[in-house]
Each structure stands twice: as structure tokens, then as C-alpha cells.
A and B are shown apart, each in its own frame.
Chain A
């Protein structure tokens, strides 16, 4: 059972565009929602994270929007660059069983065309 559902599977945008990646979850025990970026041949690297007490968080060109009532969150990349081409994973972590591990989405392969 996929704890975190992610879409789209792949995304192609022009340089300067604003790709948006969406994730949804069901487990209300989740209280930490990070996004990881992964380049080919490398492990995932933390990009930005949010907790459900805020609806938005910005770090540089990356923004997370969080909708607690809908149990959805999304990543927006402003002014996207070819160097942003990578696979992006949303994840969730919470209390109780699995409190020490992240549940990852299936990933979105982003391609930014110059």
C-alpha cells in the first residue's frame, strides 16, 4: 500500500517555467513532509521540508504548499533551470509505527529544456 501518492510521473518544462509536483497522503499521524531531489547515480538529497502547522514554506526558488484538510502538499519550482532536471520525491513521516522512517512517493522525473 502506497502511503504517499505522487503525480505526475514525469514532467517536461521550458527553462523559466514553474513545474508543480503534487502529493497526497491518508495517514493523519504524518507530521513531517520533506521533498528530496535525486540525480542519476546519486542518493536522494533533502531539498525542503514542511510541518502541518504552516501552509507554505519557501527556500530560494523552491516552495512547498500544504493543505492539511485535503491532506495534500505540492512542490513548486520557480524560474526552473536545466540544472533542476532530476527526480523529485515527496515523503512523509509521523508518530507511531514508522516514526523512524520516511515513506516516499514514487517520484517525478523533471526535465527542464534550455
Chain B
């Protein structure tokens, strides 16, 4: 399978715990994005990497959220001190190009904070 891979598919955690998600993009894609999707809503942009550099973060992104993309390959998204409002589907996407290019999304990680 050469698509975008996300792990885990599901994560259940208790409020206050830290969680980390992983995204493996399509191998030749230099751009990587994280989006969040809640039930009945469209995906909402969180952050964007070009190679290993994090170039943009949403103004709505809490400082409890941090993302990395070491060596410009896979990426991790960590949420510290989770809150119930963090419950959502976290989607990763990758692309190659300079803008307005096709995004390839993974199947997401569904987070439930109890």
C-alpha cells in the first residue's frame, strides 16, 4: 500500500493524558499536513510541513498541540493534557508540489477523550 498511513486508527484516553499519533506520508511527497475533523464538520487545518520545516500553524492550534517531522519523512502529532474537546478524527495528508496540488489523505486517527 503506497498511500498515506496513520497509526493508531483509534485511541481512547482519559482526560489529562498525553497522546501521540503517527503519519507516514507517500514517500516522494515533500509536503505534509495535519487536519482535525469533528462529527458533521469538514476537516480543519492544524499545521503544515515542507520537508522537515513546520511552515504554518493554525491560529486556533492550542499550545498543548505539537507536531514534528524529523528528517522530512514521517510526522508525529502530540496532544498534551488532553481535554474532552480534543475528541475528533485527526487526519494527515501529503502532497508534492508548490501549492494548490492534490492532497492525499490518510484514513485518520479517531481520538476519544473520556
- Chain A residues proximal to chain B, CB less than 8 Å: 4, 6, 31-32, 34, 41-46, 49, 89, 91, 93, 98-107
B36-68 vs A, Cβ < 8 Å mask (1 yes, 0 no): 000011111100100000011010000000000
On chain A, the residues within 8 Å of B99 by CB distance are 93, 99-100
Q: How far is the CA of A44 from the CA of B108 in the complex (A)?
A: 10
Assess the A46–B102 pair: CB atoms within 8 A.
Answer: yes
CA distance A93 to B31 in the complex (A): 16
Q: Are B42 and A43 within 8 A (Cβ)?
A: no
Q: How extensive is the interface on chain B, given as a class?
A: 20 to 34
Which residues of B approach A to under 8 Å, CB–CB? 4, 31, 33, 40-45, 48, 55-56, 58, 91, 93, 99-100, 102-103, 105-108
Q: Which of B42, B44, B55, B93 counts the most chain A CB atoms within 10 A? A: B42
User: Known contacts A100-B48, A100-B55, A100-B56: does B42 contact A105 (CB below 8 Å)?
Assistant: yes
User: SS class of chain B's interface: helix, strand, loop or mixed?
Assistant: loop
Query: Can you name the residue of chain A whose Cβ is closest to the Cβ of B58?
Result: A101
Whether B55 and A44, one on each chain, are in contact in the complex, defined by CB atoms closer than 8 angstroms, is no
Instruction: Please determine whether B107 and A102 come into contact, CB atoms closer than 8 angstroms.
Output: no
Residues of B within 8 A of A4 (CB): 42
